[in-house]
């Protein structure tokens, strides 16, 4: 039995290898514990689920009261012509489940409106609800239920060549945002004691050439910085000119041979190249500062999520032992150096990071104890991870759908300023809102049948105008867009559904794993021009 | 046929010729007409599609979503677009698409194309299915591990989408010739290798016909190229000979960085250095699985050995962080991959195929990058043609060297220059009316014979100012001609 368990684990590791390298075993664990609800198994819906089932989400439940139509099968890979007439949730579940035996697939043959009427708490159980091709009224109703229950809600829609997504989550915290181009945390402008001592242990002037050219560039910069300070009132090189002069100072330190020509010292070249990185002033990034100043960080209660408890702990550290600085991250980039010098330097940073994290731990512990919570309710490992990522913490707060729709709180500025350029993706948002209005009035979408297109253009135009009027939006929507949206006839072409399927699944994974940063809050994709935009509405 | 400019049939040497209107950047060329020969590769049976255009495999409403874009006029269509019911017939009956790669992007592409109305699809892939493919290559199941990707993918799509006829080729792209590639209207690439991309690019360029230096637009086969890595990806449209080709933008693919040998051999600092030490130096020395047994990244026994030895190496230098996963990642040079990014990029590529095949919209001009690490970000821009691109410019390539330069320097230039980035160039020239191989790496005996040439100067080799050098490389199916210019 032991053996089968191990085998299963290894084969899972192999199967998920390419993604484990992105979100780690802990990210995968989060995914495997998640239960996602999909409303409507249209092409967009099944494409989203496919991209969640493949990486091994724990469970999904499809809610769909529709019967499969011939049109549904035409654009959907997870329905076949033999499923025409059957319930769409059931038919899609069968073919999606078949993708990955690790995943548990469920379905409910019911419309979301019925569920909202009879059992709104049904939706409380999910890690995330994804609503696809929903009428506006359902969207708003469900949005309000989920907002109150604190369940994240992702709205997705493919409308002709336009893709739309709206994320509604009250507060989403991210420890591991995995930034693409993170600045190093080297503290050369404010070296900590242990680093100072380590720098002092080097004497570049008395070194053999071999050691001299294998001294890590961090040390080289630190040494020449001391020299610079002595000549410049202990001020860092600030502008380009000063940095150039500083580079020259380092360059002059390159050993020369008996003829006076400089030796080949790659570590010095690296030092010169890295002057900017090295002189980057140590400070708390504004996003982290905002987190410290947030009300959730200020007022910790016994109910506070561990993110905020740890944020408070780090804030205590910054305001006390850290002297205004975050805990040391404890990593350095690779650089020319012999193994011994590099490892020793790396350990100086690592040890300091451990020490700082231990101090943060004490703060966290004290905080937990003040609510009578056991200190081990937040593990040492979690705190270390938090400290290591202290400069990259992110909190995403989306506005509710109610706020987006209310006359008092809708984001007029964003809409008006974007609409200054007539082809901004914002016009697509206004068109989708107008199409919803059309649906409300006519109980159908414009231009579904060929004969409707011409007459629906005028009807849709009325909807656009009444929308703009109602919200007092003094913007111009080109007739071309009205015509184009009638032409779409609410079609859901597969390739646009698939684009959204990939994008939405990735956002779902971000919400579930609390890694990487979700968009906030409205995403529009224009497949005609292959462009996209994100708005806060 | 309804529109002479759009779909026109005429006969040419018994081959049906189709015209497809291609939309181009407005400021460049408003549009041009592309003739594509609907000819069969030699020895190939004509394709038969189940049910043809109607009856058995179709059902009420099957193409309703697609038809709205083909049968209705609209304000944003390509200027030459004319709504008609024949566009769908063209997609289903005539239009032939080639998909290169049946991996992460390829599986998605086959599905996307099949559900957009395309039925004549060929797919080429030389790989077999590995268990680590299953997290995204959704046409494969555990029972398929070890089978050819192209075949399993084709079977799955043909089975799921009735009427679709995907033809698999379990082959290297290099094993198929011009007559094969010439039969397609559009080629889509879903590859993870820059070399293969460049070869495909070179193949489509070699099919171009120039008359008196003027490109015959009917010889153009559009290339749609997708690529992904982790949460990043790109999709681009290439009209060979008209818009920026793969080699025009080689700088976008930075050359692979290898650790310096002295770091690996004597001063490791990272766990990766330790693994490289074992892979490059220890394996050939210790021959743990016998003489001649090459290191196989897919053999767990091999990786286990490398892992253990890497741990020893790391311990010796107090380096931490060697894990089994890291070891395998370094040995196999693994690029992380997820289903979602592949879905996004393949979808964008398939949309472009649809636009070009139907002229329903102006195609992407010409490059889109995607990144969803922090929010969702796309950036669309026009990559520019390189005036003297060695692949597509028709401009003779100059090599500037001192007569006293050694052949080795020429070789280094060909491999290291950012816009050439050749892999193992073979250099030949004509001396005294005879063909002479100056250096060739890929055949051991010839390499041995020509190696001494590398340390000779160009002058010693008898090369003169203006000498033509023909260079062959895996990055292109054609030899590239260079003119040697002596500088003094």
Q: What is the pLDDT of residues A80-127, one digit of tens each?
A: 999 999 999 999 999 999 999 999 999 999 999 999 999 999 999 999
Answer whether A21 sits within 8 Å of B339, measured CB to CB: no
Tokens at A140, concatenated: 């708003």
Query: pLDDT digit string (tens) for A37-73?
Result: 999 999 999 999 999 999 999 999 999 999 999 999 9
Please list, in sequence order, all residues whose beta carbon lies within 8 angstroms of the beta carbon of residue A128, skipping any fewer than 6 positions away. Answer: A34, A36, A37, A151, A152, A153, A154, A508, A511, A512
Would strands A172-174 and A394-396 be described as parallel, antiparallel, or unpaired? Answer: antiparallel
Q: Label residues B357-373 b or e (16+ Cβ within 10 Å = b).
A: bbbbbbbbbbbbbbbbb
CA A323 to chain centre: 30
Q: Chains A and B: how many Cβ contacts under 8 Å?
A: 243
Distance from CA of A319 to the nearest CA of B (A): 29
pLDDT value, residue B464: 94
Question: For chain A, how far is it from start to end, CA to CA, in angstroms?
Answer: 54
Pick the residue of A85, A178, A485, A494 with the most B CBs within 10 A to test the interface with B by mutation. A494
Residues of B in contact with A346 (CB under 8 A): 269
Distance from CA of B371 to the nearest CA of A (A): 10
Instruction: Report angle CA A47, A52, A57 to the nearest 5 degrees.
Output: 150
- pTM for the whole thing? 0.93
Pick the residue of A17, A91, A102, A156 with the most B CBs within 10 A to test the interface with B by mutation. A17
Answer whether B132 sits within 8 Å of A15, measured CB to CB: yes
pLDDT value, residue A2: 52
pLDDT value, residue B37: 40
Strand-pair partners of A87: A67
Q: Which residue of A has its CA nearest to B272?
A: A334
Burial (CB < 10 A; 0-12, 13-18, 19+), residue A138, is middle
Distance from CA of B162 to the nearest CA of A (A): 9
Q: Is B134 on the interface with A (CB under 8 A)?
A: yes
Pick the residue of B55, B58, B66, B115 with the most A CBs within 10 A to test the interface with A by mutation. B115
Residue (of A96, A83, A82) closest to A36 by Cα position: A96
Tell me the three-class secondary structure of chain B, residue by residue.
CCCCCCCCCEEECCEEEEEEEEECCCCCCCEEEEEEECCCCCCCCCCCCCCCCCCCCCCCCCCHHHHHHHCCCCCCCCCCCCCCCHHHHHHHHHCEEEEECCCHHHHHHHHHHHCCCCCEEEEECCCECCHHHCCCCCCCCHHHCCCEHHHHHHHHHHHHCCCCEEEEECCCHHHCCHHHHCCCCEEEEECCCHHHHHHHHHHHHHCCCEECCEECHHHCCCEEEEEEECCEEEEEEECCCCCCCCHHHHHHCCCCCCCCHHHHHHCCCCHHHHHHHHHHHHHHHHCCCCCCCCCCCCCHHHHHHHHHHHHHHHHHCCCCCCCHHHHHHHHHCCCCCCHHHHHHHHHHHHHHHHHHHHCCCCCCCCEEEEECCECCEEEEECCCCCCCCCCCCCCCEEEEECCCCEHHHHHHHHHHCCCCCCCCCEEEEEECCEEEEEECCCCHHHHHHHHHHHHCECCCCCCCCCCEEEEEECCEEEEEEEEEEECC
Answer whether A17 sits within 8 Å of B63, measured CB to CB: no
Answer whether B267 sits within 8 Å of A503, measured CB to CB: no
Answer whether B376 sits within 8 Å of A20, measured CB to CB: no
As a whole number of angstroms, the distance between CA B68 and CA A489 comes to 7
Answer whether B74 sits within 8 Å of A334, measured CB to CB: no
Residue holding tokens 């009956």? Answer: B93
Say how many CA atoms lie within 13 Å of B241 toward its Cβ. 21
Please answer whether residues B274 and B313 qualify as being in contact, where contact means their C-beta atoms are separated by less than 8 angstroms: yes
Tokens at A525, concatenated: 């994709």
pLDDT value, residue B30: 34
Q: Is B321 on the interface with A (CB under 8 A)?
A: no
Residue (of B381, B354, B419, B460) closest to B91 by Cα position: B354
Burial (CB < 10 A; 0-12, 13-18, 19+), residue B251, is exposed
As a whole number of angstroms, the distance between CA A534 and CA B33 comes to 37
pLDDT value, residue B54: 42
How is residue A162 annotated by DSSP? E
Task: Report in angstroms the alpha-carbon separations of A427 from A82, A414, A417, A515.
Answer: 40, 12, 12, 32
Answer whether B269 sits within 8 Å of A343, measured CB to CB: yes
CA A446 to chain centre: 35
pLDDT value, residue B19: 37
Answer whether B343 sits within 8 Å of A499, measured CB to CB: yes
Please answer whether residues B363 and B352 qualify as being in contact, where contact means their C-beta atoms are separated by less than 8 angstroms: yes
H helices of A330-391, where?
Answer: 339-370, 380-388
Residue A319 has pLDDT above 60, yes or no: yes
Please list, in sequence order, all residues whose beta carbon lies within 8 angstroms of the beta carbon of residue A504, skipping any fewer than 6 positions away. Answer: A44, A48, A130, A154, A156, A165
Please answer whether residues A48 and A121 qualify as being in contact, where contact means their C-beta atoms are separated by less than 8 angstroms: no
Lowest-confidence region among A136-140, A533-537, B108-112, B443-447: B443-447
Answer whether B340 sits within 8 Å of A505, measured CB to CB: yes
Tokens at A489, concatenated: 């006839």
How is residue A87 annotated by DSSP? B
Catalytic residues of B: 262
pLDDT value, residue A493: 98
Interface of B with A in 192-251 (CB under 8 A): 230-231, 235
Q: Would you call A155 helix, strand, or coil by DSSP?
A: strand
Tokens at B454, concatenated: 């590398």
Cis-peptide into B366, omega within 30 deg: yes
Q: Which residue of B has its CA nearest to A180?
A: B373
Answer whether B344 sits within 8 Å of A503, measured CB to CB: yes
Residues of A in contact with B380 (CB under 8 A): 529-531
As a whole number of angstroms, the distance between CA B31 and CA B160 comes to 37
Q: Which one is predicted more confidently, B37 or A276? A: A276
Distance from CA of B404 to the nearest CA of A (A): 25
Query: pLDDT digit string (tens) for B375-402?
Result: 999 999 999 999 999 999 988 899 999 9
Q: Is B162 on the interface with A (CB under 8 A)?
A: yes
Task: Report in angstroms the alpha-carbon separations of B174 from A479, B8, B477.
Answer: 51, 33, 8
Task: Report in angstroms the alpha-carbon separations of B280 from A109, B256, B277, B296, B444.
Answer: 59, 17, 5, 13, 20
Residue A4 — pLDDT band, cuts 50, 70, 90? low
Query: pLDDT digit string (tens) for A357-366?
Result: 999 999 999 9
Residue A381: phi and psi, rounded to 5, are -65, -40
Is the ipTM, as predicted for this complex, more than 0.90?
A: yes
Strand-pair partners of A517: B374
Q: Is B59 on the interface with A (CB under 8 A)?
A: yes
Residues of A in contact with B136 (CB under 8 A): 18-19, 54-55
Pick the residue of B323, B374, B382 with the most A CBs within 10 A to test the interface with A by mutation. B374
Distance from CA of B370 to the nearest CA of A (A): 10
Residue B339: phi and psi, rounded to 5, are -60, -40
Give me the tens of pLDDT residue by residue for chain B, a chain 488 residues long.
Answer: 333 333 222 222 223 233 343 433 333 333 434 443 443 444 444 444 444 444 445 788 999 999 999 999 999 999 989 999 999 999 999 999 999 999 999 999 999 999 999 999 999 999 999 999 999 999 999 999 999 999 999 999 999 999 999 999 999 999 999 999 999 999 999 999 999 999 999 999 999 999 988 999 999 999 999 999 999 999 999 999 999 999 999 988 777 778 999 999 999 999 999 999 999 999 999 999 998 899 999 899 999 999 999 999 999 999 999 999 999 999 999 999 999 999 999 999 999 999 999 999 999 999 999 999 999 999 999 999 999 999 999 888 999 999 999 999 999 999 999 889 999 999 999 998 899 999 999 999 999 999 999 999 999 999 999 999 999 999 999 999 999 999 98
Answer whether A81 sits within 8 Å of B69, measured CB to CB: no
Q: Would you call A378 helix, strand, or coil by DSSP?
A: coil
Burial (CB < 10 A; 0-12, 13-18, 19+), residue B224, is buried
pLDDT value, residue A6: 62
Task: Report in angstroms the alpha-carbon separations of B53 from A148, A449, B63.
Answer: 52, 22, 12
Tokens at A118, concatenated: 């009879």
């Amino acid at each position: 039995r032991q053996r089968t368990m191990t085998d299963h684990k290894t084969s899972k590791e192999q199967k998920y290898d390419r993604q484990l390298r992105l979100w780690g075993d802990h990210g995968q664990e989060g995914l495997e514990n998640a239960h996602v609800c999909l409303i409507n198994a249209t092409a967009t819906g099944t494409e989203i689920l496919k991209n969640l089932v493949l990486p091994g989400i724990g469970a999904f439940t499809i809610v769909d009261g529709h019967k499969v139509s011939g049109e549904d099968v035409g654009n959907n890979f997870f329905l076949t012509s033999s499923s025409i007439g059957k319930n769409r949730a059931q038919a899609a579940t069968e073919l999606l489940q078949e993708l990955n035996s690790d995943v548990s697939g469920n379905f409910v043959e019911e419309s979301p409106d019925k569920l909202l009427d009879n059992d709104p708490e049904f939706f409380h159980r999910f890690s995330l609800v994804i609503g696809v091709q929903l009428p506006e009224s359902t969207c708003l109703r469900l949005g309000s239920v989920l907002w109150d229950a604190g369940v994240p809600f992702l709205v997705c829609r493919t409308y002709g060549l336009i893709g739309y997504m709206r994320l509604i989550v009250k507060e989403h915290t991210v420890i591991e945002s995995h930034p693409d181009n993170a600045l190093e945390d080297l503290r050369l402008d404010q070296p900590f004691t242990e680093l100072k001592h380590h720098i002092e242990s080097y004497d570049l002037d008395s070194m053999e050439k071999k050691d001299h050219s294998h001294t890590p560039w961090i040390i080289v910069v630190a040494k020449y910085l001391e020299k610079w300070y002595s000549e410049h009132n202990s001020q860092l090189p600030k502008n380009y000119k000063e940095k150039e002069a500083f580079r020259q100072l380092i360059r002059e330190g390159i050993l020369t041979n008996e003829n006076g020509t400089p030796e080949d010292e790659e570590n010095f070249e690296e030092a010169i190249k890295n002057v900017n990185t090295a002189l980057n002033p140590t400070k708390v990034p504004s996003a982290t500062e905002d987190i410290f100043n947030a009300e959730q960080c200020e007022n910790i209660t016994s109910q506070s999520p561990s993110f905020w408890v740890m944020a408070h702990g780090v804030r205590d550290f910054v305001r006390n032992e850290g002297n205004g600085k975050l805990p040391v991250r404890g990593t350095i980039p690779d650089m020319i150096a012999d193994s011994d010098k590099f490892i020793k330097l790396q350990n100086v940073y690592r040890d300091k990071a451990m020490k700082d994290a231990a101090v943060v731990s004490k703060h966290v512990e004290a905080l937990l104890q003040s609510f009578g919570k056991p200190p081990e309710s937040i593990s040492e490992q979690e705190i270390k991870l938090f400290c290591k990522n202290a400069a990259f913490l992110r909190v995403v707060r989306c506005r509710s759908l109610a706020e987006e729709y209310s006359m008092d709180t809708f984001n007029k500025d964003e809409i008006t300023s974007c609409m200054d350029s007539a082809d901004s993706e914002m016009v697509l948002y206004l068109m989708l809102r107008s199409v919803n209005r059309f649906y409300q009035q006519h109980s159908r979408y414009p231009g579904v049948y060929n004969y409707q297109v011409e007459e629906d253009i005028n009807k849709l135009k009325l909807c656009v105008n009444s929308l703009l009027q109602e919200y007092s939006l003094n913007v111009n929507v080109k007739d071309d867009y009205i015509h184009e949206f009638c032409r779409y006839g609410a079609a859901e072409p597969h390739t646009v559904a698939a684009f959204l399927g990939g994008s939405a699944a990735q956002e779902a994974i971000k919400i579930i794993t609390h890694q990487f940063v979700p968009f906030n809050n409205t995403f529009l994709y224009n497949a005609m021009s292959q462009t996209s935009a994100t708005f806060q509405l | 046929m309804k529109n002479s400019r759009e779909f026109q049939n005429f006969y040419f040497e018994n081959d049906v010729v189709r015209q497809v209107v291609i939309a181009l950047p407005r400021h460049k060329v408003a549009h041009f007409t592309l003739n594509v020969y609907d000819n069969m590769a030699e020895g190939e049976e004509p394709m038969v599609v189940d049910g043809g255009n109607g009856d058995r495999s179709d059902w009420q409403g099957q193409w309703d979503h697609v038809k709205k874009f083909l049968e209705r006029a609209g304000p944003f269509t390509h200027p030459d677009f004319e709504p008609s019911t024949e566009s769908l017939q063209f997609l289903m009956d005539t239009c032939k698409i080639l998909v290169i790669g049946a991996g992460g992007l390829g599986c998605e592409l086959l599905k996307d194309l099949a559900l957009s109305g395309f039925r004549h699809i060929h797919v080429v892939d030389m790989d077999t299915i590995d268990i680590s493919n299953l997290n995204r290559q959704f046409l494969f199941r555990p029972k398929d591990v070890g089978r050819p990707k192209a075949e399993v993918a084709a079977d799955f799509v043909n089975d799921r989408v009735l009427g679709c006829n995907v033809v698999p080729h379990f082959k290297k792209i290099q094993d198929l010739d011009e007559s094969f590639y010439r039969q397609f209207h559009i080629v889509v690439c879903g590859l993870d290798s820059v070399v293969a991309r460049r070869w495909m690019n070179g193949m489509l360029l070699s099919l171009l016909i120039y008359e008196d230096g003027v490109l015959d637009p009917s010889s153009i086969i559009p290339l749609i190229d997708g690529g992904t890595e982790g949460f990043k990806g790109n999709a681009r449209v290439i009209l060979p000979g008209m818009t920026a080709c793969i080699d025009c933008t080689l700088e976008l693919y930075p050359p692979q960085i290898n650790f310096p040998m002295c770091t690996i051999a004597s001063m490791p600092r990272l766990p990766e250095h330790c693994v490289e030490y074992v892979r490059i130096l220890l394996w050939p020395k210790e021959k743990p699985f016998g003489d001649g047994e090459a290191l196989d990244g897919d053999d767990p026994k091999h990786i286990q050995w490398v892992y253990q030895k890497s741990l020893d190496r790391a311990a010796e230098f107090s380096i931490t962080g060697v894990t089994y996963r890291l070891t395998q990642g370094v040995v196999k040079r693994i690029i992380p991959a997820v289903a979602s990014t592949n879905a996004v990029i393949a979808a964008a590529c398939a949309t472009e195929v649809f636009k070009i095949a139907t002229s329903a919209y102006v195609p992407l001009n010409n490059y889109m990058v995607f990144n969803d690490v922090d929010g969702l970000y796309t950036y669309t821009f026009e990559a520019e043609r390189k005036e003297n691109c060695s692949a597509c410019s028709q401009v003779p390539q100059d090599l500037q060297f001192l007569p006293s330069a050694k052949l080795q320097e020429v070789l280094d230039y060909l491999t290291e220059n950012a816009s050439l980035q050749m892999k193992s160039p073979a250099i030949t020239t004509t001396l005294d009316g005879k063909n002479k191989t100056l250096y060739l790496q890929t055949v051991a005996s010839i390499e041995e014979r020509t190696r001494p040439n590398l340390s000779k100067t160009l002058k010693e080799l008898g090369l003169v100012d203006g000498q033509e050098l023909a260079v062959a490389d895996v990055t292109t199916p054609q030899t590239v001609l260079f003119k040697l210019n002596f500088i003094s």
